[in-house]
Amino acid sequence: MIHSLFLINSSGDIFLEKHWKSVVSRSVCDYFFEAQERATEAENVPPVIPTPHHYLLSVYRHKIFFVAVIQTEVPPLFVIEFLHRVVDTFQDYFGVCSEPVIKDNVVVVYEVLEEMLDNGFPLATESNILKELIKPPTILRTVVNTITGMEKGETHRELPSWVKALNNLLPAFCLIPISGSTITAEIQGVIDACVKLTGMPDLTLSFMNPRLLDDVSFHPCVRFKRWESERILSFIPPDGNFRLLSYHVSAQNLVAIPVYVKHNISFRDSSSLGRFEITVGPKQTMGKTIEGVIVTSQMPKGVLNMSLTPSQGTHTFDPVTKMLSWDVGKINPQKLPSLKGTMSLQAGASKPDENPTINLQFKIQQLAISGLKVNRLDMYGEKYKPFKGIKYMTKAGKFQVRT
């Protein structure tokens, strides 16, 4: 299966290599660099690259390429999924997964990799198991120790034990064309749990409206039969943070989109100035504030510079990448944030064909836009009373407005 792993940073240096079978020379990465050059953008590097004797499967995350070398037929998703799991594990161990962090913790990284694969076949990939085998580095270790220390000290006592379910709902994909009607929108959500309970608690989580959920995927601890028959999540949780459930809300229960964008972007032929204006406003938010709003847009190549004034927040325009970014912050419904100004265009160049797409990010606390509600969370199998809490949140996914 997986022969070797190379970690390559964006400038093309191999800064870590690990072999699970006999050593594969790092020159095999030359094929990768070739492909990288051809792709121009990191995102476009094909995930599967055949070379004369090996196959290179890679994922690109946190500005690092994780390149796995394999020699024989293997389901490519198997390798890709595993590489993503590696990244997740690093993130879990070190808080962030970046080149300096990996370099600083190279020994732990190496040990973790050693445990994760044996002869190229995954051995231990659950981060809680790994943490039993290899301790996270010191800073985190102290934190972990205090927590586990408490737990171990008080087995079968009613002390620190709590459950938290985080409910992220992401309307993943909205396209709004000029006419203002939604092209497509869907809600995709997850329930992340943070469980720190002693003993062997058996939890059940029920929803007020489970019918909403159209398609779900579970953490392996969830009992599938129970869900099938009763629409209840029944599980014995692993310790710590994990993703209990990801779901998709069916398209019939169509999404109320909580924001709208008004835009007026005009280029004129044979003029070196264009007008630019965007206003963002709330819509159907059930009284909750929209926070963390960031507007980004890739401007056409012809735009040389922009002089804009925001009514709130800060904006930047990168004349090289032509990326406009406006950090709006909270939306105050009384005073809608707007960004107005002019664009200076390349003189003589004709008007771009396409108006730029506007991408929007935002968050709404304490609201699940899908309307999904957790009914109750019960614990069986242990006698103490757990502390329970739930937090709802809505985040924009790939929210795009076509202009």
Partner 1 sequence: MSSNSFAYNEQSGGGEATELGQEATSTISPSGAFGLFSSDLKKNEDLKQMLESTKDSAKLDAMKRIVGMIAKGKNASELFPAVVKNVASKNIEIKKLVYVYLVRYAEEQQDLALLSISTFQRALKDPNQLIRASALRVLSSIRVPIIVPIMMLAIKEASADLSPYVRKNAAHAIQKLYSLDPEQKEMLIEVIEKLLKDKSTLVAGSVVMAFEEVCPDRIDLIHKNYRKLCNLLVDVEEWGQVVIIHMLTRYARTQFVSPWKEDDGLEDNEKNFYESDDEQKEKTDQRKKPYTMDPDHRLLIRNTKPLLQSRNAAVVMAVAQLYWHISPKSEVGIISKSLVRLLRSNREVQYIVLQNIATMSIQRKGMFEPYLKSFYVRSTDPTMIKTLKLEILTNLANEANISTLLREFQTYVKSQDKQFAAATIQTIGRCATNISEVTDTCLNGLVCLLSNRDEIVVAESVVVIKKLLQMQPAQHGEIIKHMAKLLDSITVPVARASILWLIGENCERVPKIAPDVLRKMAKSFTSEDDLVKLQILNLGAKLYLTNSRQTKLLTQYILNLGKYDQNYDIRDRTRFIRQLIVPNEKSGALSKYAKKIFLAQKPAPLLESPFKDRDHFQLGTLSHTLNTKATGYLELSNWPEVAPDPSVRNVEVIELAKEWTPAGKAKKENPAKKFYSESEEEEDSSDSSSDSESESGSASGEQDEGDSSDDSSEESSSEHGSDSESASEVGDKRTAKRNSKSKGKSDSEDGEKENEKSKTSDSSSADSSSEEESSSDSESESESESESESRKVTKEKEKKKTKQDRNPLTKDVSLLDLDDFNPVSTPVALPTPALSPSLIADLEGLNLSTSSSVISVNTPVFVPVKTHVLLHRMSGRGLAAHYFFPRQPCIFGDKMVSVQITLNNTTDRKIENIHIGGKKLPMGMQMHVFNPIESLEPEGSITVSMGIDFCDSTQTASFQLCTKDDCFNVNIQPPVGELLLPVAMSEKDFKKEQGMLTGMNETSTVIIAAPQNFTPSVILQKVVNVANVGVVPSGQDNIHRFAAKTVHSGSLMLVTVELKEGSTAQLIINTERTVIGSVLLRELKPVLSQG
Please list every residue from 49 through 88 that binds partner 1, using CB under 8 A. Answer: 50, 55, 58-61, 70-78, 80-84
**Least Å from the CB of residue 160 to partner 1:** 18
Per-residue contact flags (x/-) with partner 1 for residues 142 to 181, judged by CB under 8 A: ------------------------------xx-x-x----
CB of 332 to partner 1, least distance (A): 28
Query: What minimum distance in Å lies between the beta carbon of 254 and partner 1?
Result: 12
- DSSP code string of 49-75: EE-SS-EEEEEEETTEEEEEEE-S---
Using CB under 8 A as the criterion, what x/- string covers residues 99-138 for binding partner 1?
----xx-xx-xxx--x---xx-xxxxxx-xx--xx-----
Between residues 48 and 143, which has the closer beta carbon with respect to partner 1?
Answer: 48
Show contacts with partner 1 in window 214-233 (CB under 8 A).
Answer: 214-221, 223-226, 228
Instruction: Pick the closer one to partner 1 by CB: 258 or 397.
Output: 397
| Long-range contacts (CB closer than 8 Å, 24 or more residues apart) made by 134-143 | 134/108, 136/93, 136/94, 136/108, 137/93, 137/94, 137/105, 137/108, 140/93, 140/94, 140/95
Q: What sign does the CA torsion over 223, 225, 228, 234 have?
A: negative
Judged by CB under 8 A, the chain residues 345 through 364 that form the site for partner 1 are 350, 353-354, 357, 359
| Comparison of 64 and 83: residue with beta carbon closer to partner 1 | 83
Of 141 and 366, nearer to partner 1 (C-beta) is 141
Q: Which is nearer to partner 1, 43 or 383 (CB)?
A: 43
Residues 233-252 close enough to bind partner 1 by CB under 8 A: 234, 236, 238, 243, 246, 248, 251
Our measurement of the distance from residue 208's CA atom to the centroid of its chain's CA atoms, rounded to an integer in Å, reads 27
